[in-house]
Structure 1
Amino acid sequence: MAESALFQSFFLIFSGAAIVASLALFGRQPLLVAYIALGILLGPSGLAVIDNLQLLSDMSSVGIIFLLFLLGLDMQPQALVSVLRKATFVGLVSCTIFLALGFGIGWLFGFTPLECWVIGMALMFSSTIIGIKLLPTTVLHHKHLGELMVGLLLFQDFVAILCLTILLSDNIGNMHLGQLALSYGSLPLIVMLAWGVVKYLLLPLFTRFDRFHEYVFLLAIGWCMGMAELAETLGLSREIGAFIAGITLAASRISQYIALSLKPLRDFFLILFFFSLGAQFDLAMLPEILVAALVTTAVVLLAKPVVFRYLLGNQSEQKVLAWDIGFRLGQISEFSLLIALLACDRNLIGSAASHLIQATAILTFLVSSYIVVMNFPNPIAIKDELRRD
């Protein structure tokens, strides 16, 4: 019976996701919004046809591990230096402003200080999916706009990793600083160990057996999972271990092949992640957080373009270019959803704060997508003069 129920859940999730994803593409919406909406529809707050959320949530956490592994693989050390040099100042100042805005909104609506900090963290980041996917490929790879976008998003990725490291510490809620320092003290040891294993074991194995694609795929997954479990054992988190596993492989010739091979597997689990996120969204909480979510959404949609316009303008960027980047980054991020989920799971924030972040993410994804699609060059523009592949 359990096997039948699991198969039925998979049938409903992936067949339903195929339908709602098609509708989302016709509506020029990010697919992850469709997955979240499907979770709300089929979960306990909707039709309640799927109720084994804990199993799906546990499985979907694998997708987050793969996401951070691939994020590490894509962080080529040589490319990072040039793009981050241009984006660091703007990234630092903008993250500080949005952290303060989020803290202020949380304080205004009566959340605890720790919840205010987490809300502030969630507002610091912009969506890679919307920022990159709605940027024409020729601009992404060959224009100054593309370089700045990638630089800012990469800087935000580093800040997100730092935030996740803090939230994923078992001790942050109780502030046992000695144990926290011990956990972080193991971080450089893990990095050195990973670098040594990659250089003296994995790369020789990849070089010798690279024609056996199945073996390369298996070894990459084993390395990712092994480092994830080691980090968890040493008091960090599986996600941090997976990121270290990826970034220590990033400079190798095989890294991009591994990244391409694992993306379908990552996407499979990420669909489960966003579905389970939507399924856990309690519609009964909506009246409690609706006003706060609308205020937070309005602040994000108005403040982010203005802040990026001002900061980039002071960096001698053209006014039109600065506004373009500002509106493309005018939402919060997939990382914001992850922060909300992890912080709630570890009892750092309450259900209301978590639902506030989730509702703000969904609303800003929807509105900012329409703003970009209707006003700036993008691959899925309705107007012919704005459509750029």
Structure 2
Amino acid sequence: MDSGSLFYSFFLIFTGAALLATVALATRQPLIVAYIALGGIFGPYGLEFINDTDLLTDIGHAGIIFLLFLLGLDMQPSHLMHMLRKTAIVGLLSSVVFAALGYGTAYAFGFSTTECLVIGGTMMFSSTIIGIKLLPTTVLHHKHTGELLVSLLLLQDLLAIMMLLVLYNSKGLSNGYLSLLATLATLPLLVMGAWGIVRYMLLPLMAKYDRFHEYMFLLAIGWCLGLAELAHTLGLSAEIGAFVAGITIATSPIAQYIAINLKPLRDFFLILFFFSVGASFNLGLLDEVIIPGLVLSAICLLLKPPVFWFFLRKVSEKQSTAWEVGARLGQNSEFSLLIATVATSQLLIDNVAAHVIQAVAILTLLLSSYIVVFRYESPIAVNDRLRRD
């Protein structure tokens, strides 16, 4: 894309998003539905107004990075570690259950063993974007429900990163295990290095120049994107780096100011991300993927909430809390889209299997948004009684 076509794409996306969002609000629909639908309408498999979505996907990925950064700003490190220890068994056992269900379902539809393993793997993860974007920042982040949700999502993100590393190194599996272990060993080094930079550089700079709001804004963005890129270079994900960047300055007195001012920037990029999700699906393969996609989607939507409820009850969580966390995690993850892309590039799965994974992600992102928005507190709830931010 040249600069002119990028500007034209932005014009179509944001003008179209404003129009569809108006219709969504008037008909009491979640706004995320409007953004994904717009991608399907304007994308290369719809009206073909926007054919090259690769750049938009890359740009939209910044929305996920800022989302994780803002999440980190709202978390206290000591309490997060306590919650991770409590939810580790829940996250691991539930992942095993969903992987087995995904594998068995894919096998029943005649996919190869490798494709069944990949499809089953994608079923383990819930959407960080949906989970956090529909979480009220002033109501649940500092309450138990939000802490449970965040700790489970972070554990799933680490598992997703491990799966991606295995896929990237699938051609030489023995070397792949060594690479995986080496990459995971860099995570505590990243955390310790970030903590040292914040304590001895960033916090003194913030204290000295906190009167210059533009500088605070630039410093926050630079720290977020810098650590995200460093984590990506080390073999981790940019999302993990962004979260570490946020949590290391969560105790700063300027943290809430940064969080408030970065939210509009986050939303700008997230609109692009959801547009690219809708635009990436090839409708020409719909006949081949619709049945397995619907079955796997039904497993996500119907079984994830009770499975999470069961395991959370086993660790002494209240019934209402366990149900709400399960409902908020009742979808597939945006990581599954990346896993499908990597597995296809490594010739581990074919185009049909990749589109089954995409179909499940899109369907569950849409339908679970309805469930959460209509039943639980969220920033975009259609009921005034449930709208919280």
Q: Do the aligned partners of 1:171 and 1:179 also contact (CA within 8 Å) in 2?
A: no
The verdict on how the C-alpha distance between 1:148 and 1:235 changes in structure 2, with shifts beyond 3 A counting, is closer
The one-letter code matched in structure 1 to 2:104 is G
The verdict on how the C-alpha distance between 1:346 and 1:37 changes in structure 2, with shifts beyond 3 A counting, is farther
Instruction: Report Cα offsets for 1:5-29 as digits up to 9, x if no partner.
Output: 2221110001111122233334444
The one-letter code matched in structure 2 to 1:203 is L
Q: Do the aligned partners of 2:74 and 2:141 also contact (CA within 8 Å) in 1?
A: no
Aligned to 1:207: 207
Tell me the CA shift for residue 98 of structure 1: 1.4
The one-letter code matched in structure 2 to 1:160 is D
**Take 1:342 and 1:13, find their aligned partners in 2: how far apart are those partners?**
27
**Take 1:223 and 1:383, find their aligned partners in 2: how far apart are those partners?**
37
Aligned to 2:158: 161
Tell me the CA shift for residue 195 of structure 1: 2.1
State the Cα RMSD in Å: 3.5
The verdict on how the C-alpha distance between 1:205 and 1:181 changes in structure 2, with shifts beyond 3 A counting, is same
Q: How many residues align?
A: 384
Q: Do the aligned partners of 1:70 and 1:259 also contact (CA within 8 Å) in 2?
A: yes
Q: Do the aligned partners of 2:84 and 2:155 also contact (CA within 8 Å) in 1?
A: no
**Take 2:157 and 2:229, find their aligned partners in 1: how far apart are those partners?**
21
Tell me the CA shift for residue 274 of structure 1: 1.8
Aligned pairs for 1:1-389 (under 5 A) are: 2-81=2-81, 83-84=83-84, 87-127=87-127, 140=140, 147-148=144-145, 150-167=147-164, 171-174=168-171, 175=173, 176-177=175-176, 178-315=178-315, 322-337=322-337, 339-340=339-340, 344=344, 349-371=349-371, 376=375, 378=377
The verdict on how the C-alpha distance between 1:205 and 1:371 changes in structure 2, with shifts beyond 3 A counting, is closer
Q: Do the aligned partners of 1:17 and 1:35 also contact (CA within 8 Å) in 2?
A: yes
Q: Give the % identical residues.
A: 57
Q: Do the aligned partners of 1:70 and 1:246 also contact (CA within 8 Å) in 2?
A: yes
**Take 2:33 and 2:251, find their aligned partners in 1: how far apart are those partners?**
33
Q: Do the aligned partners of 1:132 and 1:140 also contact (CA within 8 Å) in 2?
A: no
Tell me the CA shift for residue 185 of structure 1: 4.0
**Normalised TM-score (structure 1):** 0.82
Q: Do the aligned partners of 2:126 and 2:156 also contact (CA within 8 Å) in 1?
A: no
**Take 1:264 and 1:195, find their aligned partners in 2: how far apart are those partners?**
27
Q: Do the aligned partners of 1:331 and 1:368 also contact (CA within 8 Å) in 2?
A: yes
* SS of equivalent to 2:140: helix
Tell me the CA shift for residue 43 of structure 1: 1.0
Tell me the CA shift for residue 303 of structure 1: 1.3
**Take 2:76 and 2:327, find their aligned partners in 1: how far apart are those partners?**
27
**Normalised TM-score (structure 2):** 0.82
Tell me the CA shift for residue 68 of structure 1: 3.3
**Take 1:337 and 1:270, find their aligned partners in 2: how far apart are those partners?**
15
The one-letter code matched in structure 1 to 2:296 is T
Tell me the CA shift for residue 334 of structure 1: 4.2
The one-letter code matched in structure 1 to 2:260 is L
Q: Do the aligned partners of 1:169 and 1:235 also contact (CA within 8 Å) in 2?
A: no
The verdict on how the C-alpha distance between 1:318 and 1:158 changes in structure 2, with shifts beyond 3 A counting, is closer
Specify every segment of 5 or more residues in structure 1 that has no aligned partner in the other structure, as ranges. Answer: none
